[in-house]
Structure 1
Amino acid sequence: MVELRALHFTDVQDHYDRLEVIRDFLPANDIDAVFFTGDFIEANPIGANRTGDKLHEEYLRILVTPEFQEEYGTAQRRIQEIVRPHIVGDQLDESKLSASEKSELEALVESKKNVVSTAVDDKEEELKTALPPVIHESYTQMTLIFGEIAAISPVYAIMGNHDMTTGYEHLEDTVTFLEKQKSALLEGRNGVQFTLKGDLNTWEIPGFYNEPGIRKVFDEHYIPFESGESLGNIEEKLRTTSGEENRKYRSRKGDVTAWQASERTRLGDRNADIYFTHKLPHCDKGSRVMGDVSGEITLEYSIDAKSVHGGHFHGGQIGWSSLRHVLEAFEEGEMQTTINGEDVPLYLLTRGEHWELNPGEHHFFVTEYDAAKEVERVLVYEFVYE
């Protein structure tokens, strides 16, 4: 018997049409709760009129004066003159550069940085006035449609690496953010209480957030990227580096150690039935991962949970397989089951395989839990837009 039926989606990144699909799906499909595992907004400018694009447009409008264009453009043109003869295929063959060319390139790159830094300093107040309203507008719109969803089913969520803490100001009365509290209790249909916990678990700073002017305006509003760093990996770096690089890792170790201590204080015991995280603890099972796979907090606190709900990687994951692998098994149709009188394809997890769930960007899941708080099954739905 189903005790809890939860809809899980992730990585909206300003796709309001996905939110409309979720909102319209809920009333007729007997959903008890909605789970969302970040990112609400898209941070990078990708040419799609999303948050990052709007920020980028304002950023360039303020920063790129005729004087900036002249200085920056002169340096960039000279760089192209130097490297063009040494391009092999589509890559620069640095071995073909002379010592004087290498020296000049280094000076030109530094010159470009100085041009940007000077412009940012000159325009700091204008940037701080013009850019924050873009973020507030995005989260205001998110709050409106998440409010429509929450009016149907309660929403439990965490932020993602594209998000800013500004989002809490707008969404905290509509969405229960698990990274902001010890836990939340979700009551099932027959009174069984599910304990929900979560943490952020992401170190990946969106590229645009590293722009000097963007960082100067928003740095204090970035989510804590220590959350996804592994102390074990930092310790390894300390053993294999020296000098300035070693000092950098030693400083980072202090930051991550302090963060993890504060998280253990916040989370308390490890009694989560359902755990939320932006990146699954074993996301490398379903996706190609560069850098740290998971911070220690997620590994420690999700290990005894009946399921872990995550996102970040747009391809998706079920158990320790990519969602693509599962969908291919569906297409082969070797196993089937019947739902509401209709035959549908079936995929079984291997015994002992943990329920790690990431629906990716093109699908959403409906996860059914029984009275023992175990996952009975996960239904996979594809987003379809009218």
Structure 2
Amino acid sequence: MSYSLLRPFLFSMDPEKAHEFTLELLEKAHKAKLLGFVYAQQSLPVECMGMVFNNPVGLAAGLDKNADYIDALGELGFGFIEVGTVTPKPQEGNQKPRMFRLKEANAIINRMGFNNKGVDHLIRNMRKCKYKGNIGINIGKNAITPVEHAAADYIYCLERVYPYASYITVNISSPNTKNLRDLQSGDALRKLLFEIKSRHLQLAVDYGFYVPLVLKVAPDLEPEQIEFICQQLLDFDIDGLITTNTTISRIGVEDLPNGNEAGGLSGRPVSHMSTMVLEQFTDILEDKVAVIGVGGIDSGDKAVKKLQAGASLVQLYSGLIYKGPSLVQESIQAIGGYYDTLES
């Protein structure tokens, strides 16, 4: 079924229920071996963080928090998939309703609060998945863990997901876990990265292989904060950076229905902001840290703009809700055209 025909039905449902319904429908189509006939896997190899990605278009964390649907999602043509955010213990997340569409702006506001089934459930799914592409695992802290003890939660998850991840993302940028974004600044960030990186290096020795470590940051950063984070990335030899998570800004949507709901705003309104922040990071980092661009990609042109701003890879999420899986192919084709232009 064409997504354009399915979308009105999905948009008549509560957003969170529509999310769950869509994933279950996708899983059924996967098991019936229908997806491969519709979504061809496009090869556009990219080397990043010491790995080869089949193409540079990935799925952002948050859509498949528990790694329940990796094989089905993999058939949509993604070059890589990021699952999570996962926490040490299962948690319900914030009170419902906690996800809101802003249809006039092709946007979403969510305040999910890291709802997930816990790291052990995710690992069980990782052990049985058959997807051959790279899989990032996004880790966070439980809501009941005081922010000053956050490192223990991150390290707990790091230790458990290490042998199953192509890369591991440390998520300190969700606006929906109290005080989490405090970890992006000052001594809190330095202490967190020191503790995580120390354990990360020991795990590489213990397992005999190295899994890249990535940091995910918010778009709501001042230039001096960006400079500080860049210095920490270099000081602690962090392999990658994801820019950006959702924004707490409501510029341009404040007068829309649901526009002032609490939570993180994603989709088209965050596109320019996230790309500008990405560019500020890449100007300072000068290719010393791999950068993944995410935020407001709802067309192939928007995906290309992330690469023009310095990203090596891109990730999709909210754009898929409004445009459907065809956005994956559109983005790959646009990036392929951009590569051709660079070569010529």
Classify the TM-score, shorter chain. 0.3 to 0.5
Choose 1 or 2 for highest CA Rg: 1
Q: Which has the higher contact order (CA 8 A, sep 6+)?
A: 1
